[in-house]
Structure 1
Amino acid sequence: MLKLFYHQWLAARRSLYWQKSVFLNILLGIVGIYILLNFVVIGYYADELIQSVYPVSDTINHFTGLLLFYLIFDFFARFMMQKFPSLIIQPYLTLPIKKQKLIHYPILKSMLGLFNLLGLCLVIPFFIKAVVPSYGFAFSTVWLFSVLALIFSSNFIAFTVKKKFSSNPVFIISFVLFLGVVLYVNFGEVYNLSSRFSAVLLFISGKYYGIFFPILLLVVSYFTAYRTLMNNHRLDDKAEPSLKRTSGATFLDYYGETAGILLVELKMIVRNKRPKSALLYGLLMIPYGFLLYSFNSDDYLLQMFIGFLIISALAMPYGQFVFSWQSSCFDGLMAHNVNLHRYVKSKFFVFSVLAVVSYILSLPFVIKNEQMLTIHPAMLLYTIGISSKLILFFGCFKSKPISLGKNQMFNHEGVSFVDFLIILPVLGLPALLYAGFVVFDITGYFIYGLGIIGINGIVLNRFMLSYIVKLLIRRKYKIGMGFRSK
């Protein structure tokens, strides 16, 4: 098994992608380390954050209860985004290696995934700072192993469920409805699920035999994932991502043929002056938006606007010229018969990643303003689920070319009346929602409603992108004609 890990490391280190894109890989590594450090800081100061938001006496009990919702959201995020590691299986078939060992490899390697590392960075600092001094080593050790077993079990369960229901949108909608019911039951004071979960986990931690229950769940979930992969892998299955790999050894391989278009998009941003300067100016808007929070903390509509300003600080400058970035080579893209669905999907992916980066950069500000704990996640969901689709939709009606070598400042090249029209639906929809909440006198739930709309947009992502692709197919000749008229 160790040789398989070593072979994959050699393949990654020797790949052409690593040698040609060292800067991009280093940049992604820095961003990943930054994300992990943010979770470490949140975990270390979790007891103080809980005391400031919920003035309770037992922060450990409350933190353990909140882990229930972390696990639920963690499972949903894994189901939507996590891809299991791949392995080139053909070269090993002629060697005396058992097929079971090849199946175990991607499952074991998934334990080193980002979501598991985030859980470790969140729980271990809290364990060291708060749990051990309060409950002692024996209780704390069982508590830690129980929580980590639940996090890793979520990893294996998400894989199993995704294998069986990834192509069924009914399951996704049902899970979103289930999540809404759980939140309503708990926070609507119908039944306190978080306190019950905390009581069970603390009870297990207080017994010397308690650690066997989460370990049993971990073992069962692992072998369920193993059995699922064993029963479903096929060497000639083009859609099977678990036992094959595309060219190169990079995280982009997991997105199939979309990876090539996405890589071109990232290189366009890194190598050209205008997209880099646009993102730099957007980056400066994040601390500016944070300063605006100090002026008014009670107006929900203003909070929504400031949250949108921060979360979309990087995504909107990119989305403003979403198709115009390729104005100089748009005819070449069409002549090469590029799959427009993958082309639009890569645009959506870049837009979403930039929004997530803005959200991550705003995480340290939570220490100064607790309202960001609800505002920014809701705005992130809305930006990815709704704003991204509106940007792509209106981008189909823009046909003004731009020069990538010019600076962004005081440069109005490519700007059209459509850029001003985009603001109306992007900010108008939340404003209408807020007006409806005002009528029913429930403005306190406005941010949650905005987040639910964003989740619905994410669930309907494939349908909405398909409509945009059809619109782009109808408009591509007019767009190309506009790009040629410089």
Structure 2
Amino acid sequence: MTSIFIQHEIKSFLRTVGAGKSIAVKVVMGILILYLLLNVLALAFFMDKVLEAIFPNEDLVVSFCKIILYYFLADLLWRFQLQELPTLQVQPYLHLRIKKNTIVRYLSFASLLSFFNLWPIILFLPFIFKVIWVDASHTTALLFIIAVIGFTVFNNYLSLFIKRKSNLNGWVYVGFALLLVLLGLADFSWHWYSIRNISFAFFNGLIQHPYYVLLPVVLAALMYYINFSYLKNNLYLEELGSKKTIYKSSTNIPFFSRFGKVGDLVSNEIKLILRNKRSRSSIVMTGGFLFYGILFYTNKSYSDSMKLFPAIFMTGLFIINYGQFMFSWQASHFDGILISKISFTDFLKAKLLLFTTVSTLAFLLTLPYVYFGWHVIFIHFVMYLWNIGVNTVIVLFFANRNYRRIDLSKGASFNWEGVGATQLLLGLPLILCPYLIYLPCKWLGHPDFGLILIGLTGILFVLTHSYWIKQLEADFYEKKYTIAEGFRNK
């Protein structure tokens, strides 16, 4: 996958407007960087002479050990001012079957290609091979090399992490700069500690205690992990920009605001329903079917088992009609949902809250059917519990198997877009399952007990919604790319 990222970046660079000008600029910058590195290399070969001139009374290895941490503090300051963040246009990849770890790993390792990481290696390695390799031992020289590389990698990821945090909060930049100033003042002005002594204690300690080399290695690994985790947790479209706009829509529904993010998702879905022809028809049909009971309850020949049928539809038609195209309603922006910082748990909870709200309103609007007896209202209540408990789970289960998109701008009349075998199969369990509980009890002479069992089953599913959400979420993650691919087919 890394080779593909590199190929895409090369093509993106070559195909952009003004690519020739960009190449010319990069060639000039490359020549300047090469010139600087050659100067660093010259300094590296004569570092022993420079150290002898600056510290005439000290051993070369001792003076070298004392200056290394000074370099890395200065290196951190230079990086923070000049090092660019590694970039990759990640938006086109987030909704594809590519693991976030792969994208973040590429961004993390791409940062190691910075010339800032070559600088300490070119500067210190000639001295290490020229002096330490000869005066100390080959093992000690190798330990110095590992330590230098470890601190270089640590500085690399620390600088990138601070810069990314600074893009979101400018005070991080101020705090980090102030920290570097205080470190310098505490050493040179206030004399609270000595960076020279700390540097000597560590690097000279490598000669006597080789396990000291674990410190820069562990620091580098820890900083890589922190940087990796931060990138992975913020690899969403909302987090990719340097500025965030926080606002509340004036059309938010106050009732749902108490539910936090879940309520916001429900509010958005209600707007989707009301603003589009086909989704709006599901609300119209739900209202129209509230009069469905008149056809049944005025006919004395219908038994209680037949009354289950209108009760299912009147309190749960929205779940059946709207729910059978569950994710298809968001087909046009489904890729955006996949790469947004929306927990799919919250997404499912929003669907359940929407179903429960509409079904509750539908049940309350059927209360005038008490005219035909309290037993009718009892049947409605039982089927209401079944709908918000069992049928919501069934609908969401089949939603994970619906790969057909819907164009919301089209009307509902004679529109079969999005209808497939999944929708035809969905109606069977939604309507027939309550009868699997009710009819055996009726045949045994206890029809009311059957109604109570249906209601208790619905309550049980409502109480265990969190469990079903986890199962549905795991099922969705297995099929989300197939769903997304189906929605892209117009």
TM-score, L = length of structure 1 = 0.47
TM-score, L = length of structure 2 = 0.47
Looking at both structures, which has the greater relative contact order when contacts are Cα pairs under 8 Å and sequence separation is at least 6? 1
Q: Which has the larger radius of gyration?
A: 2
